[in-house]
Amino acid sequence: MTTFVLVHGAWHGPWAWQRVVPLLRAAGAHTITPDLGAVDDHGLHDHAAIVAAALDEIPDEEIVLVGHSYAGLVVREAADARPDTVDHIVLVDGWAGRDGVGMFDLAPAAFVTSVRAAAESRGDGRRIPPPPAAAFGIVDPDNVALLAARLLSQPLRTFTESARLTGAVDRIPGTAIYCEPQTYPFAQFGAALGYRTRALDGPHDVMLIQPQPLARMLLEASLVQNREVRSLE
C-alpha cells in the first residue's frame, strides 16, 4: 500500500488537495494532508518538523512525499530528517534547492522586494498577506471565491529561513512536476537536484484546476519507485 503525504504551499491549507485526495483513494492509496498552520513565529524548520512528525505516524509502507510550491523546501527538509521512511519525493511547481538555500535565495529580487514590502505594510513585519488568486493562475470566479475565502497570511520566517540538509535527502529519488507555462524555473530546480521532470498544462494551483492529470502523475511516481525497488532485487 502507498501513502501519499500531500503538503500544501504558502498561504494555503490542507483543503488545497481536496480534489486530488478522492482520486488517489479511489486508486487504492492512502493520503495524509498535514496542516502547516499560520503561526506568526513559525519558520521553514517548524514546518519541516510538522511533516516529519506526520511521517512518524505512518505504518511501514511505501511513502510518497509531495510538496506544492513553497512546500518543496519543507518536504525535502522533512525527508532529510527521515531518509529511511520516505520512498519518493514529488515537487509540484516546487521551490527547492541544496543545503543553506531558502525561498528568498531562489526567488527573483522583485519577488523578494514585493513580499518584504507587503509584510511591512500589511503584516506587522511578521506575516505576508495572501496575494490575489491571479497570482496562482486562478481566474475563474468559483475558484477565485474559494481562494479568497480560505487563503491565510504566511509567516515571513518561512521565506527567510534557509534549508538545513545533511545530504541524506539526496539518496531519495524524486520527480519534479512543473506547470506550463512556467511562472518560475521549477523545472530547473528539480533537474538541478537530479529529479525526473514532468510537464503538466495548468496554472500554479494545478491541484484545483487539473486534479485528474495531477493524480495520475502522482500515482505514476509511486509506480516508478516500485520499479526501481524491483530492479535492485
Whether residue 128 lies inside any domain: the answer is no
pLDDT tens per residue, range 95-113: 999 999 999 999 999 999 9
- Helix, strand, coil shares, percent, the chain, to 5: 45, 15, 35
Domain extent, residue 222, equals 2-104+158-232
pLDDT tens per residue, range 125-163: 999 999 999 999 999 999 999 999 999 999 999 999 999
pLDDT tens per residue, range 47-69: 999 999 999 999 888 999 999 99
The rounded mean pLDDT for the chain is 94
- Report the CATH number at residue 73: 3.40.50.1820
> Please, what sign has the CA dihedral across residues 93, 64, 195, 37?
positive
Whether residue 142 lies inside any domain: the answer is no
Q: What pTM, to 2 d.p., does this model score?
A: 0.95
Amino acid at 110: A
Whether residue 30 lies inside any domain: the answer is yes
